[in-house]
Amino acid sequence: MKIGVDLGGTKVKAGIEFNGEIIHQNTVFLQEKESMSATLEQLFDLIRPLTQHPIGSIGIGVPSVVDVEKGIVYNVANIPSWEKVALRDILEEEFNIPVYVNNDANCFSLGEHRYGVAQHYNSVVGMTIGTGLGSGIIIDNQLYNGSNCGAGEIGLLPYREHNLEYYAGSNFFEAIHGTTALLVSNAALDGDKKALRLWQEFGVHLGFAIKAAMYTYDPEAIVLGGSIAKAYSFFEGGMREALEDFAYPETLKRIKILQSQNDDIALLGAAALVLQDAKVPVSSLR
């Protein structure tokens, strides 16, 4: 059994991976984020009850650049006190269990590849659509980190006067249109024409991000997750429209665009970091 942890800017989730499922899951909302010691204590308190079980390792996904070899996280999003935290060493000292640290979008992608809808593909791009647009890359059945754990940051590519994630994340609704994705989704469910047009427009922007991933990595599959991805049926049309001018028609026919089906997939991916580090063959997990 392995513990998976998903550290967000407002809350942290943790659970035990057992036979490809998450059990004994707990969540805590972060308090006193200006204090590194206070947030670490919250993290300890969340994990500690889970270590009463026979745990082999802890994997944790963090919204930041990560020194994967040393387990150090830098400038964690929305946690101002976490400018540089030797997270692996801190957790290993606290729990005396091997710890693996990586970017949260990478954990999402690894989880989908090992346990989710992308299990049967060798090359995958996972995209988490929420506050921003995070991406993780699987190449030849292995997570690709890049030199600084920054590979796959497609959302930060320049686009219009900002970048892709400004238009293909929550800012599209909040900063540009003065609303929220949830409100627009609820209105679309009621058939509101303006809401449906907004989702169509959002899908076009996301389509540009997907084209960037296709041109860069040429994956077999792209998996969409995160809170906004739950509105897939509303933005799929605009997304497909944006893909129509993709330069390679055969590639466009073959690409699989999938929707995440498991709310615990980031925890499963974090727990699987030990397998990634050990280069365990994917076939042995199926």
What is the dotted CATH code of the domain comprising 119-259?
3.30.420.40
Give residue 30's pLDDT: 87
In angstroms, the CA 143 to CA 247 distance is: 27
- Total-model pTM: 0.92
Single-letter amino acid code for the residue at 278: A
Give residue 89's pLDDT: 96
Give residue 206's pLDDT: 98
β-bridge mates for residue 103, sequence order: 62
Q: What is the pLDDT of residues 72-92, one digit of tens each?
A: 999 998 889 999 999 999 999
For the chain, the domains span: 2-106+265-285, 119-259
Q: Select 2-106+265-285's CATH number: 3.40.50.920, 3.20.190.10, 3.30.420.40, 3.30.710.10.
A: 3.30.420.40
Give residue 104's pLDDT: 93
Q: What is the DSSP string of 133-149?
A: EEEEEEETTEEE--TTS
CA–centroid distance for 14 within its chain: 15
- 210 to each of 15, 41, 122, 163, 238, how far by Cα in Å? 31, 39, 18, 14, 12
Region of 260 on the Ramachandran plot (φ > 0 left; ψ -120 to 50 alpha; else beta): beta
Q: Which of 132, 80, 69, 134 is nearest to 103 (CA)?
A: 134
**Fold: same for 2-106+265-285 and 119-259:** yes
Helices 193-217 and 181-189 sit at what angle, rounded to 10 degrees?
Answer: 120
Task: Count CA atoms closer than 13 A to 26's CA, side-chain side.
Answer: 15
Give residue 283's pLDDT: 44
Give residue 285's pLDDT: 46
Could you say which residues of the chain have pLDDT below 50? 280-286
